[in-house]
A and B are shown apart, each in its own frame.
Chain A
Amino acid sequence: MMDATARPEIDRPEELVETRLVTWFFLAALGYLFVSMLGGILVALQLVHWNPLQGLELLSPGRWRMIHTNAVAYGFIANGLLGACHWVVPRLTLKPVFSKALSYLIFAAWQIVVLSTAGGILLGEAQALEWGETPVWIDPVAQLGLLLVAINFLTPIIKSKGPMYVTLWYFTAAFVWTFLTYAMGNFIPEYFVSGTSAGAIGGLFIHDLVGLFVTPLGWGSMYFFVPILLRKPIWSHGLSLVGFWGLAFFYPLQGIHHFLYTPIPMFLQYGAVVSTIAVEMVVLTVVVNFFGTLKGVGREVITNLPIRWFYLGMIFYALTCFQCALQVTLTFQALIHFSDWVVGHAHLVMFGVFSMWIMGIMTYLFPRIWGVPWHSRRLSEWHFWFSGVGIFVMACDLIMAGVFQGFWWGALLPWEESVEGSMPFWMLRVFAGLGMFAGQIFFAMNLYLTWKDSQAAKAKAALPA
């Protein structure tokens, strides 16, 4: 990052960030979120025997479950974070991305990857790798896309001079990690190793995807947006770097904690347990740092909507990590493995944390980019509350369901009894999901109305005085 005293002259500062592309990424992300949520609702309805599309093979829940997870991860979260990167990286380095044309190409290529993944899954072509269901013939395209992303963003980062701000550390690592993680997960088990070894790699892949792609881009964005919105620097930059380097060194070891009690040798399982405990400390440093930053400006959490999204996400983050601390013990695993506890945890992480952050970023950036305030504060509030309460209810519901299921299975009750017992929990999940979905509809309405306001403002400004 450049030194404050040596600011370069920027000829056309308004061209530093390609705001149109940021908007496109965000709109694409929201489109996939809608599809994914509809998929989630469909699967949830199936589990309580209310599936209205029973018998349609292409829309069978097995396929839609994969559409649900892939559309959320690669459609919503990846597009949302790529949009954020197109805002953050040029502003932090004061240099545009390597090539704007390349950015548009990446945008198009990424949508092709996501849509062909969906098509491939519907046609029964899914690759047999959790979170890597992308059909094998798309993998090279996706890999190339990730390489282009890395080139596009790393170029301005490398060109910038002086000590780097923590966001750039996180982003740099994320661009390299994501490329390597994707290659490791999608190619090694498919072509090079098999059996338990492939299982261990699969474990590393699913965990690294969350921890080395989404987490660094997510936290990196928080270190960027929170100080700007609070108009004060992060509490301790040193502590933030402990968080970053801790993640860098200890996160990659953890993946195998998804496969406790499997034939993977115990020393590897124990290693994963220990490194998970280390990462719990790392997480604590990050959370302490952000809550330390709030000192003296705590009211912003109530009045400033993006900040509220961000901090609610951080509270959920701390909760999910607390869950991890329990989950990583072998005793607790024996209870909750394969149960709905895990599904509750997954929703809490993906929606409660990362989606909250992306929503906060969108809530801040859409009005900035369009140059008008949100059309309706009330709709924005509803978006927040329906999403927040919805995910809280869904997560509590599924986590409790998981504990019950664990005890039923442990008591060796017939499987049918555990399914019957789970019904009330699954019904509540449908309603919580509908609530979350309603929140997004309020957002879409507000977005449309705000865009119309911006068009009207533009037309007015174009009129001769």
Chain B
Amino acid sequence: MAPPTVTRSRKNLWITLLFALAVLIPSLYGFSGKFIEFVAVFRGESDGQFAITPIVNYLLATLGFFCLFGWAIMHGMFSDIERPKQVFLEQQEWLDQQLLAAQTAPSAHRNSAP
């Protein structure tokens, strides 16, 4: 597999960034709005008391993902962001070769019963 050219990966990077911003801006807008309302609920606005359960649910789930995201960055999961897609295909090809070799080897037994 040929490695991607520099221009191609720069194009990919720009498109990725563009989409990331398109997702982040409206979402952060929505989220901060919600958060302000949430604070208002705590200050005693009567019509919002029962909003607490869904919002706490959401905050907990997001907190978990935020930690995971931080962990992933710290462990270099995104340092060479395009590499896993190449490794994945090479690995599958290699595995199929191993399987073929195992099948043709005399001692191999095939596990293909329905």
A residues with CB within 8 A of B? 1-4, 7, 10, 12-16, 18-20, 23, 27, 91-92, 94, 162-167, 173, 176-177, 180, 184, 188, 193, 195-197, 200-201, 204, 227-228, 231-239, 241-242, 245-246, 248-250, 252-253, 255-256, 264-265, 267-268, 270-271, 274-275, 277-278, 281-282, 284-285, 288, 369-371, 451, 454, 458
Chain B residue nearest to A272 (CB atoms) is B30
Q: Is the CB of B34 within 8 A of A94?
A: no
Secondary structure at the B interface, as helix, strand, loop or mixed, is: helix
Contact of A274 among B27, B55, B108 (CB under 8 A): B27
CB closest residue in chain A, given B48: A265
Q: Report, nearest first, the 3 A-B pairs whose CB atoms are least far apart.
A: A274-B30, A197-B50, A278-B27
B88–A268 touching, CB < 8 Å = no
Are B47 and A265 in contact (CB-based, < 8 A)?
yes
Contacts of B85 in A (CB 8 A): 165-166, 227, 233-234, 237
Chain A's interface: helix, strand, loop or mixed, by majority?
A: helix
Q: Are A233 and B86 closer than 8 Å at their CB atoms?
A: yes
Please give, as numbers and ranges, the residues of chain B lying within 8 Å of A241 by CB-CB distance.
78, 81
Contact indicator A253/B30 (Cβ below 8 Å): yes
Contact of A249 among B62, B94, B108, B110 (CB under 8 A): B62
* B44 within 8 A of partner (CB): no
Task: Please determine whether B33 and A270 come into contact, CB atoms closer than 8 angstroms.
Answer: yes
Q: Which residues of A sit under 8 angstroms from B34, Cβ to Cβ?
A: 253, 267-268, 271
Interface residues of B (CB under 8 A from A): 1, 12-13, 15-16, 19-20, 22-23, 26-27, 29-31, 33-34, 37, 47-48, 50-51, 53-55, 57-58, 61-62, 64-65, 69, 76-92, 94-95, 98-99, 102-103, 108-114
Q: 6 A-B Cβ contacts within 8 A?
A: A4-B86, A4-B87, A10-B95, A164-B77, A238-B82, A268-B54
Q: Is the CB of B112 within 8 A of A370?
A: yes
Is there an interface contact between B95 and A91, defined as CB atoms closer than 8 Å? yes
Residues of A with C-beta under 8 A to B99: 13-14
Q: Say which residue of A18, A200, A371, A458 sits within 8 Å of B53 (CB atoms).
A: A200
Return the chain B residue nearest A235 by Cβ. B12
A7 neighbours in B (Cβ, 8 Å): 91, 94
Contact call A242/B23, Cβ cutoff below 8 A? yes
List B contacts of A20 (CB < 8 A).
111-114
CB contacts (< 8 Å) of B29 on chain A: these are 274
Q: Let me know if B98 and A13 touch, CB within 8 A.
A: yes
Q: Do B88 and A92 touch (CB < 8 A)?
A: yes
